[in-house]
Amino acid sequence: MKSKTSISFYCFLASIVVFILANIMGKIYYETGFSLGTGNDWLGYSILASVFVLSLVGLVYGFKGEKSSLKYISIVGNSLALLTIGLLSIALIVYDFVPQ
């Protein structure tokens, strides 16, 4: 079984990859404008929500992991991912559902 610290680091890497894929998917859907995967109905929303969940799971596993330099890197990385791209993703989902 993988250590909790390495799972945390893999969650950090996966959240970045999923965010980039959502960005690519949004650019394919809206060629003239900017959309972060939200134009693809529930598929786009579930991809963006997974960025938040991956960062949150990575942060929890980072705090539970063994003491090493990778632990601190994964805690800081997952915190930054959660506070930037994770919250941005949730804000985009909420913004689409709130009546204008």
At residue 41, the pLDDT reads 67
Residue 37 structure tokens: 């995967």
Token pair belonging to 58: 């990575």
Instruction: Give the pLDDT score at 14.
Output: 92
**What digits encode the pLDDT tens for the residues 77-89?**
889 988 988 888 8
Question: Of 77, 9, 22, whose CA–CA distance to 49 is shortest?
Answer: 22
Distance of CA 61 to the CA centre of its chain: 15
pTM: 0.79
Q: Would you give per-residue pLDDT tens digits along the chain (100 residues)?
A: 578 888 898 999 999 898 888 777 776 666 655 555 555 567 777 888 888 899 999 999 999 888 888 888 888 988 998 898 888 888 877 887 777 6
Domain boundaries, the chain: 4-97
Q: Give the pLDDT confidence score for residue 79 in this predicted structure.
A: 92
